[in-house]
């Protein structure tokens, strides 16, 4: 029986996410065996520094990609938001699974359960490891103080509950739901309060770009709607040249053949921002069996079983919105944010 080796980070959430993808693949391919290989990444090891300060694009992916390159694993399951918009040569995202709730959630210290960010006492400290969240929320909730908190979900929740430093922390709703911690979600932040990170809530399966066999194997996992939304989001971020060292956020919706993309950039303290929305007509395709295309990758993603037209339209929407924001001065905001972040 052929064994497919699947790479993952060691954290409990990463394992849960990988197990869910493997369970789907096992159901689709009962004749194959799957072996999960867990490893630590740079981002898992450096826990005393804010992510944006480490200045490394592939914090949570490099070691896993190294294993892919050396043929020690055949595919790797990631949170899509950890995957840079430009992948190293030789790799591609061969599947984007159906997205869970992409919004951010607030988890409160036990003594503040029942509160919202708005009703927390003046000068309450809120923990987040994300410049994107801090910039947006500082602007909206100026009575609060935002401080970096690092570690995996278990560690962050423990810091919140056992120390008196934080009144609340901000986490991705999808991660909390996958861990089965629905009861800890005290508030879900709507796009008007806090737009989400590019690709948030979706899982990406990274493979060797030339491994046609594995590409075919995982390609069936593509969720067409999630794929198109994430292509638009990733194209927007790539064209802005944003990463985790600058506050960039998005919101997408696909309804009645229209893909809506809202994107924004913020200064680090949230005082300065540029946001806008654009839409494009896109018909969500059924998967189809088409001949292979030349250079099939778009923003690091290969989806040969989804028609090319809608993918290109989604990518163009992302680029157009980035150009609109750049024409309104986004580059200056991002450059200053980058310089300030590097200086601190």
The answer to whether residue 104 is catalytic is no
Read off the DSSP letter of residue 165: S
What would the two tokens of residue 141 be?
């909730």
Alpha carbons within 13 angstroms on the beta-carbon side of residue 219 total: 21
Q: What is the CA radius of gyration of the chain?
A: 20
Q: How many angstroms separate the CA atoms of 233 and 299, rounded?
A: 10
The 3-state DSSP composition of the chain as helix, strand, coil percent (nearest 5) reads 35, 25, 40
Out of 19, 44, 74, 82, which one is annotated catalytic? Answer: 82
Phi, psi angle pair for 109, to nearest 5°: -60, 145
E runs forming strands in the chain? 3-9, 33-39, 75-79, 91-96, 104-108, 125-127, 145-147, 168-172, 187-188, 203-208, 248-255, 258-266, 273-281
CA distances from 306 to 150, 197, 234, 284 (A): 38, 24, 17, 9
What would the two tokens of residue 20 be?
């869910």
Read off the DSSP letter of residue 111: G
CA-based nearest residue to 199, from 337, 41, 80: 80
What would the two tokens of residue 234 be?
């990733």
Q: Residues with catalytic annotation?
A: 82
């Amino acid at each position: 029986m052929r064994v497919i080796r699947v790479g993952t980070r060691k954290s409990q959430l990463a394992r849960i996410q990988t197990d869910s993808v493997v369970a789907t693949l096992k159901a689709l391919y009962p004749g194959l065996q799957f072996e999960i290989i867990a490893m630590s990444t740079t981002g898992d090891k450096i826990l005393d520094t804010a992510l944006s300060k480490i200045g490394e694009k592939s914090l949570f992916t490099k070691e896993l990609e190294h294993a892919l390159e050396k043929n020690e694993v055949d595919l790797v399951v990631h949170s899509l938001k950890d995957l840079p918009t430009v992948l190293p040569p030789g790799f591609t995202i061969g599947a984007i699974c159906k997205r869970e709730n992409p919004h951010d959630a607030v988890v409160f210290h036990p003594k503040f359960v029942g509160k919202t960010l708005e009703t927390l006492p003046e000068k309450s400290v809120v923990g987040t490891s994300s410049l994107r969240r801090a910039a947006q929320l500082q602007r909206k909730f100026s009575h609060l103080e935002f401080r970096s908190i690092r570690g995996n979900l278990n560690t962050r929740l423990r810091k919140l509950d056992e120390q008196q430093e934080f009144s609340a922390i901000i986490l991705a709703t999808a991660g909390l739901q996958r861990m089965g911690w629905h009861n800890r979600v005290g508030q879900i932040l709507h796009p008007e309060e806090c737009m989400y990170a590019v690709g948030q809530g979706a899982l990406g399966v990274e493979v060797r770009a030339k491994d046609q066999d594995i590409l075919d194997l995982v390609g069936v996992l593509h969720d067409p709607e999630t794929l198109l939304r994430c292509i638009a989001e990733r194209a927007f971020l790539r064209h802005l040249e944003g990463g985790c060292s600058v506050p960039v956020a998005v919101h997408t919706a696909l309804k009645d053949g229209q893909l809506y993309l809202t994107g924004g950039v913020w200064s680090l303290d949230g005082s300065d921002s540029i946001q806008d929305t654009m839409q494009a007509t896109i018909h969500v395709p059924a998967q189809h069996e088409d001949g292979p295309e030349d250079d099939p990758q778009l923003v690091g993603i290969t989806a040969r079983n989804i028609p090319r037209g809608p993918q290109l339209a989604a990518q163009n929407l992302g680029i157009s919105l980035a150009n609109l924001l750049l024409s309104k001065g986004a580059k200056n905001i991002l450059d200053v944010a980058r310089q300030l972040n590097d200086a601190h």
